[in-house]
Amino acid sequence: MEVIAKTKGLKKYYGEGAGMVKALDGIDLEIEKGKFTMIVGTSGSGKTTFLNLLGGQDRPTEGSICVESTRIDTLPEAELAVYRRNKVGFIYQNFNLIPMLTVEENILFPLDMGNEKPDQDFFEELVETLGLADRLSALPGELSGGQKQQAAIARALITRPSLVLADEPTGNLDRRSGQNVLGLLKMMNQRYHQTMVIITHDLDIAQTADRIIRIEDGKLWEGRENNVSAGQR
């Protein structure tokens, strides 16, 4: 088993005294490279906080986060920004596409931020696989919800990141579109061997994962891979 990310004693607290909120309260977790991992939990359980810490979008109150042997929780802000740009692909529930940019420009935006040139063959393969080849000149406002998320997936993968982190990627989609997007994520995981960590509240969706992790009240629930029984729901 090759571990790509590891957290130890991970805590994130907000506020002080009686009003303190323990969003995460001591998470020890290893994430295997190339796996399709789902994080489940009720609203406010701490799962989004965990994803934000893993992606370098926030810093922990205590504990360590290692990604590919680098302690990202101790990185200076400038180096953390490089980590976010080069090592992590983010997929959001609300897509986060830039309205005035075309689909192609949105997909290539992370490369433009780093003044990098795209691998044209990889770009063409990516948009063809995701069904976007004929929508590259369209603006986000001209796309369906499913197409917007497909563009967001392409944008997340274009830098070939070590980690792809998705926060409720099907949350704003109807059931059919959500299933299509999830299928595309799974296919991308298998084709490009990307390590994917996905938050979902839908336990039926979670069953497609290689591994299911549950976080409740800021603590890790020790679940079994590929198995969340009806009694555990």
CB contact at 8 A, 208 and 184: no
Give the whole-angstrom CA distance, residue 159 versus residue 152: 13
Four-point Cα dihedral 10, 15, 21, 23, nearest 10: -30
Q: Strand pairing partners for 67?
A: 5, 70
| Per-residue pLDDT, 207 | 83
Which pLDDT value is given to residue 222? Answer: 58
pLDDT at position 149 is: 92
Burial class (CB in 10 A: 0-12, 13-18, 19+), 167: buried
Could you list the pLDDT tens digit for every one of the 233 residues in the chain?
799 999 999 999 999 888 899 999 999 999 999 999 999 988 889 999 999 999 999 999 999 999 998 999 999 999 999 999 889 999 998 999 999 999 999 999 999 988 899 999 999 999 998 999 999 999 999 999 999 999 999 999 999 998 999 999 888 888 888 888 888 888 889 888 889 999 987 777 778 899 999 999 999 985 544 444 333 33
